[in-house]
Chains A and B, each alone.
Chain A
């Protein structure tokens, strides 16, 4: 038929042109405008962006949630502290106690067990 046969590895310009003419719908510019409008009106606002403010916005909610969790945790901790009857008050803990004499006489660093024993005994 022509120089182009079915085994040819090159595109057939005649068949190609026929197919293009047959399948081309026209008004590509209008279609592009339609797609861009669809993206702008329904999609673009939902798409994650990478601006600095968007980055901060993404951090904002988790930050608020974390702060709220810490605050609630602190409240629970204080509440639990108030209900405990076996704990020492600050004044009791810092009150005058008798330091073991060996602490004052010793040259070496005091043993923490010995140092804290009055506090533990007071409980």
Chain B
């Protein structure tokens, strides 16, 4: 860290006798919204960057795995994307939502990494569980379900995979997904609809047990 960023952090550190109600300092940063964290990051606050990474990394990793399937490649892509977002944070429009902006960068990083990687065979996520014997207990049933889910996801176009995952697993709105994927909102609705229908058909024997 440079002296400048260090001094910036020091400037923001609360004095020992500060009012505990004041939302300042490292102890309070976890409660700050994305917009405030972004403002602090633009000013050079490394803690704000760490907090944004902690907040969004889990979803970003899931998104990258939809594209790359290999967990290690996915993590590499997410790291590339997070650092790219950090470098270009000054260009982020604070009037817009941070989450779709960040995820779009991560998605592009994952696609870019996929292009750069030499073609190699990767075991689909959860695929190793398909080789297990289908035991009668519930745990084995769920393992088999996950294997089937990996196969089902593989049948979907990437955009539909991303759309249905962001909508059903991450809680994104259709509008946010449309912004992230740079497609009309109606296209997202259509993608979610078709992806759900395919997933339900392929997973039908298992879903009744899960629900």
**A59 on the B face (CB < 8 A):** no
B7 touches A35 (CB 8 A): no
B207 touches A14 (CB 8 A): yes
* Stretch from B54-62, B91-99, B112-120 forming part of the interface with A: B54-62
B53 touches A36 (CB 8 A): yes
> Which residues on the B side are within 8 Å of A1 (C-beta)?
200, 204, 207-208
**A47 on the B face (CB < 8 A):** yes
How does the 8 Å CB contact mask read for A14-26 relative to B, with 1 for contact and 0 for none? 1111111111110
Main secondary structure of the interface of B (DSSP, over half): helix
Interface hub of A7, A18, A44, A53 (most chain B Cβ within 10 A) = A18
Cross-chain contact of B145 among A9, A12, A18, A34 (Cβ < 8 A): A18
B65 touches A32 (CB 8 A): no
Q: How close is A103's CB to chain B, nearest CB, in angstroms?
A: 65
Closest to B65 in A: A23
Q: How close is A57's CB to chain B, nearest CB, in angstroms?
A: 8
Closest to B193 in A: A6
Interface hub of A9, A40, A49 (most chain B Cβ within 10 A) = A49
B49 touches A23 (CB 8 A): no
Known: A22-B150, A32-B57, A44-B2. A14 touches B8 (CB 8 A): no
**A111 on the B face (CB < 8 A):** no
Interface hub of B82, B194, B208 (most chain A Cβ within 10 A) = B82
Main secondary structure of the interface of A (DSSP, over half): helix
A16→B200 CA distance, assembly (Å): 12
A116→B122 CA distance, assembly (Å): 92
A38→B1 CA distance, assembly (Å): 11
> Which residues on the A side are within 8 Å of B174 (C-beta)?
9
Cross-chain contact of A36 among B44, B50, B62, B153 (Cβ < 8 A): B50
Cross-chain contact of B126 among A11, A15, A20, A22 (Cβ < 8 A): A22
Interface size class of B (residues with CB under 8 A): 35 or more
8 Å CB contacts to B: which residues of A40-59? Answer: 40, 43-45, 47, 49-51, 53-54
Cross-chain contact of B210 among A14, A34, A54 (Cβ < 8 A): A14
B4 touches A51 (CB 8 A): yes
A44 touches B169 (CB 8 A): no
Known: A1-B204, A28-B61. A45 touches B2 (CB 8 A): yes
Q: Name B's A-contacting residues (CB within 8 A).
A: 1-5, 7-8, 42-44, 46, 49-50, 53-54, 57-58, 61-62, 65-66, 71, 74-75, 78-79, 82-83, 86-87, 125-126, 145-146, 149-150, 153, 164-165, 167-171, 174, 193-194, 196-197, 199-200, 203-204, 207-208, 210-211
**26 sample A-B contacts, Cβ–Cβ < 8 Å, listed by A number:** A1-B204, A1-B208, A11-B168, A12-B168, A12-B196, A15-B164, A16-B168, A18-B145, A19-B164, A20-B169, A22-B149, A24-B58, A25-B65, A28-B57, A29-B54, A31-B61, A31-B78, A35-B57, A36-B50, A39-B46, A39-B83, A44-B46, A45-B2, A47-B5, A50-B44, A51-B7
